[in-house]
Amino acid sequence: MKKAKDKPVKTRTNAEHTRNNAEKEQNIKKEIPHSSALVQHNSAFIEWQAPEFEYVEKDVSWYWMGLIVSILLLAAAVWQKNFLFAIFVVIAYLAVIYSAGQRPAIWKFTIDNNGVEIDPMKGKSVASKIYNYEDIEGFDIWDKELVLKVNKKISPYVKMIFPADKEKEIKEFLAKHVPESEYEIPISDSLSKLIGF
């Protein structure tokens, strides 16, 4: 009879133990979504790969036109006896011809809560650059490019090509950190687009 009386006591103890374990598991489950949501928020970022610059295919006529313009400028420099300008024209022509044949490298771009990173990726001699939000005065979207205005006297604008489907996402993300400001198109940019360079 004593054994029969002891059994319910043991069953009650096991039930209480099971109930306590269940409560602990529920408390842990309640905490996990909160912590994972926090990690997800802190690691929010936008990432894409794109060419360093937009490459425009150049035909033979483009090179002939460049040569003709260079010869005319060289002739004008010699006629005015400005030999320094003549040397500049020759060097500029060779630099343009060399640059015209260069294909753009594929770079990786990342925007996160810390700033904007440009990574030339593996095998490149150029080091990656990070622009923190305190160094960025504003941003604008211009002709399929993200343009950042940074705190630099020389080259104050940084341009990045991005996929068209990421435009809205990039705009909304950056607007939380820096103001959107209109990009004043310099003459050099307009001229480059005009001559297809």
In the structure encoding, which two tokens stand for residue 89, read together?
């024209």
Beta strands in 44-172 (DSSP E): 45-51, 106-112, 115-119, 129-132, 136-142, 145-150, 157-161
SS3 181: coil
Examine the domain organization and report whether 50 and 109 are in the same domain.
yes
Examine the domain organization and report whether 33 and 7 are in the same domain.
yes
Examine the domain organization and report whether 14 and 56 are in the same domain.
no
Examine the domain organization and report whether 97 and 157 are in the same domain.
yes
Examine the domain organization and report whether 91 and 169 are in the same domain.
yes
The whole-angstrom separation of Cα 81 and Cα 93 is: 19
Examine the domain organization and report whether 36 and 91 are in the same domain.
no
Total tally of structural domains belonging to the chain: 2
Examine the domain organization and report whether 36 and 72 are in the same domain.
no
Q: Is the pTM of this model over 0.85?
A: no
Examine the domain organization and report whether 7 and 86 are in the same domain.
no
For residue 37, give its domain range: 1-43
* Boundary-marking domain end, from 11, 26, 43: 43
Residue type, 13: T
Examine the domain organization and report whether 75 and 116 are in the same domain.
yes
Q: What per-residue confidence (pLDDT) applies to 31?
A: 42
Examine the domain organization and report whether 126 and 186 are in the same domain.
yes
Examine the domain organization and report whether 34 and 77 are in the same domain.
no
Examine the domain organization and report whether 80 and 168 are in the same domain.
yes
Q: What per-residue confidence (pLDDT) applies to 20?
A: 52
The residues near 19 (Cβ < 8 Å, ≥ 6 apart) are none
The whole-angstrom separation of Cα 126 and Cα 106 is: 12
DSSP letter for 165, please. G
Residue bearing the bigger pLDDT, 30 or 109: 109
Q: What per-residue confidence (pLDDT) applies to 35?
A: 30
Q: Tens digit of pLDDT for each residue in 22-71?
A: 554 444 344 433 332 323 334 488 999 988 877 777 888 888 988 999 99
The enclosing domain of 191 has a CATH number of 2.30.29
